[in-house]
């Protein structure tokens, strides 16, 4: 009877959101990893560059020292005249030569042609110097002394200077290279920055899209939920009204059937009984067999009369109309006491008079239902119906000493019906029971202001 099945929010959209969010996360993660790895790389490169520089500088200074020692040794050798020391000096020079060679070899593997040229130049000068020394060394001591000063001034010192120059150049070149490496790093860093900016821009853009999309989606959902809530409340209200109308209709129907039974069938039977009685009196012993038949007829009519009366009462207790709610509740209690094993006591002194009929019938049915439940299910020996009037409300309580039940789990149609009626009158219903401890049904109803309803 309501709107068709509500359509669930489209699955496609959900997938899109999932994709975009995934993409965003991947981007962020990817760029993070990229940055970390780049930084590590840069550090390694920087370290390598510095280490290479340090290594070269060390090798260079080692070489430089060796050459210096060599030069010194040559100068000493030239200066001294004792022939017995010659052999040892020569040996020392040879050793230093070997050392210098190994120093050259030890220089870190050459990186590019410029460095190689510089190194080779230096090596060339050294071998040039050595050739010179070899010539000097071949001379006799006396000749050596004579030539020493000119030799030193003409050859050794310029060569030394040249070597110094070359090594200086090499050092400068090394410094340049470090700077070059640094510049490379700077460029790489700038690249990274650019890349990172791009990635972040994309991430921000898609994030923004995602947020806007989600917001739009949420707004739509919210609107739908609101609309649905309003619908729900409305249909719930309609349902309540419908059930109230059903209850009303049922009562009206019952009342009219009851009236019909009582007025038409009941009264005709009553009249019949009166007539049979008069007939029977009129016969007064003249025709015993006719009188017996009349008596039989009378008892049939009486039974039918009783049956009709009970039916009418069940449909609509006429005491409710004739005597009011208090009397009807008392009657109800006595009826159940008569019919069942349960004794019902009713305290109805404080039932407000002139309650609207809607209240009378609802309270009556409520008590009826509660008592019938107690008789049918609880095996109670005693039940008590109490009606209390408070300032602005009235309390109807039906308590029994039966075996009780779990009111949370067993909520039968009876309780639902009672709840429906009570709710319709703006009241509340409470069912308290524990297995083995009887049950109490309590309804609290607002007393309507006079003149309303």
Site residues (CB under 8 A) for another protein? Answer: 262-263, 266-268, 270-271, 273-275, 277-278, 281, 302, 305-306, 309, 318-319, 321-323, 327-328, 330-331, 334-335, 337-338, 343, 381-382
**Least Å distance between CB 451 and another protein?**
21
> Phi and psi at residue 405, in whole multiples of 5°?
-160, 175
Closer CB to another protein, residue 260 or residue 406?
Answer: 260
CB of 226 to another protein, least distance (A): 52
User: Closest approach of Cβ 365 to another protein, in Å?
Assistant: 18
Distance of alpha carbon 366 from alpha carbon 324, whole angstroms? 16
Question: Minimal distance in Å, beta carbon 419 to another protein?
Answer: 28
Q: Which is nearer to another protein, 78 or 326 (CB)?
A: 326
Q: How far apart are CA 124 and CA 114, in angstroms?
A: 15
Helix (H, G, I), strand (E, B), or coil: what is residue 355?
Answer: coil
DSSP 85: G
Q: Indicate the residue among 40 and 307 with the shorter CB distance to another protein.
A: 307
CA distance 438 to 311: 31
Instruction: Say how far apart CA 224 and CA 218 lie, in whole Å.
Output: 10
What is the residue whose two structure tokens read 């009970």? 310
Instruction: Take residue 448 and report the two structure tokens written for it.
Output: 């309507």
- Between CA 151 and CA 163, with CA 157 as vertex, the angle to 5 degrees is 130
Are the beta carbons of 451 and 430 closer than 8 angstroms? Answer: no
Instruction: Return the SS3 of 444.
Output: strand
Give 386's DSSP letter.
E
Q: Which helix (H) or strand (E) is 248 found in, with range?
A: helix 157-260
Nearer of residues 37 and 381 to another protein, judged by Cβ: 381
Angle value at C-alpha 379, between 374 and 382, nearest 5 degrees:
70
| Residue number with CB closer to another protein (172 or 307) | 307
User: Least Å distance between CB 229 and another protein?
Assistant: 49
Strand 382-389 vs strand 393-400: parallel, antiparallel, or unpaired?
Answer: antiparallel
Name the minimum Å distance from CB 279 to another protein.
10
Please identify, using beta-carbon distances, which residue of 28 and 294 lies nearer to another protein.
294
Least distance to another protein from the beta carbon of 420, Å?
28
Q: How far is the CB of 256 from another protein (least distance, A)?
A: 14
Nearer to another protein, 305 or 359 (CB): 305
| Helix H or strand E encompassing 431 | strand 428-433
Return the number of the residue (338 or 392) whose C-beta is nearest another protein: 338
Cβ atoms 354, 370 nearer than 8 A:
no
In whole angstroms, how close is the CB of 311 to another protein at the nearest point? 12
Q: Residue 433: which residues within 8 A CB-CB, separation 6 or more?
A: 404, 405, 406, 407, 439, 440
Spatial neighbors of 200 by CB under 8 A, at least 6 apart, are 31
Nearer to another protein, 50 or 281 (CB): 281
Q: Which is nearer to another protein, 91 or 381 (CB)?
A: 381
The CB-of-423 to another protein minimum distance in angstroms stands at 29
Instruction: Check: CB of residue 86 under 8 Å from CB of residue 141.
Output: yes
């Amino acid at each position: 009877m309501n709107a068709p099945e509500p359509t669930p929010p489209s699955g496609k959209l959900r997938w899109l959101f999932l994709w975009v969010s995934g993409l965003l996360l991947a981007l962020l993660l990817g760029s993070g990893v990229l940055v970390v790895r780049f930084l590590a790389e840069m550090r390694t490169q920087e370290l390598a560059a510095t280490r290479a520089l340090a290594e070269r500088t060390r090798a260079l200074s080692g070489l430089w020292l060796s050459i210096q020692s060599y030069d010194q040794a040559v100068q000493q050798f030239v200066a001294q005249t004792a022939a017995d020391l010659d052999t040892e000096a020569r040996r020392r020079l040879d050793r230093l030569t070997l050392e210098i060679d190994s120093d050259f070899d030890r220089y870190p593997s050459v990186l590019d042609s410029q460095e190689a040229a510089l190194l080779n130049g230096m090596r060339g000068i050294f071998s040039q110097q050595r050739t010179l020394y070899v010539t000097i060394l071949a001379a006799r001591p006396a000749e050596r002394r004579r030539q020493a000063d000119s030799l030193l001034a003409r050859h050794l010192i310029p060569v030394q200077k040249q070597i110094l120059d070359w090594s200086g150049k090499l050092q400068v070149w090394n410094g340049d290279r470090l700077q070059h490496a640094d510049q490379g790093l700077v460029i790489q860093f700038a690249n990274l920055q650019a890349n990172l900016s791009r990635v972040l821009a994309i991430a921000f853009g898609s994030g923004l899209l995602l947020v806007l999309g989600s917001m739009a989606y949420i707004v739509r959902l919210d609107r739908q939920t609101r609309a649905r809530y309003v619908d729900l409340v409305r249909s719930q209200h309609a349902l309540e009204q419908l059930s109230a109308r059903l209850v009303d209709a049922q009562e009206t129907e019952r009342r009219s059937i009851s009236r019909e039974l009582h007025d038409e069938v009941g009264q005709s039977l009553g009249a019949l009984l009166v007539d049979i009685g008069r007939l029977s009196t009129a016969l007064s012993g003249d025709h015993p067999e006719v009188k017996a038949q009349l008596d039989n007829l009378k008892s049939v009519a009486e039974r039918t009369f009783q049956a009709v009366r009970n039916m009418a009462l069940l449909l609509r207790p006429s005491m409710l109309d004739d005597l009011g709610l208090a009397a009807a509740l008392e009657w109800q209690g006595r009826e159940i006491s008569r019919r069942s094993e349960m004794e019902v006591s009713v305290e109805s002194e404080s039932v407000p008079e002139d309650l609207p009929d809607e209240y009378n019938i609802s309270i009556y049915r409520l008590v009826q239902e509660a008592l019938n439940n107690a008789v049918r299910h609880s095996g109670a020996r005693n039940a008590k119906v109490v009606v209390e009037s408070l300032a602005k409300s009235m309390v109807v309580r039906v308590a029994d000493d039966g075996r009780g039940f779990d009111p949370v789990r067993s909520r039968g149609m009876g309780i639902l019906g009672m709840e429906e009626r009570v709710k319709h009158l703006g009241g509340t219903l409470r069912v308290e029971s524990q297995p083995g401890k009887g049950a109490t049904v309590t309804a609290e109803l607002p007393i309507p202001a006079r003149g309303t309803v």
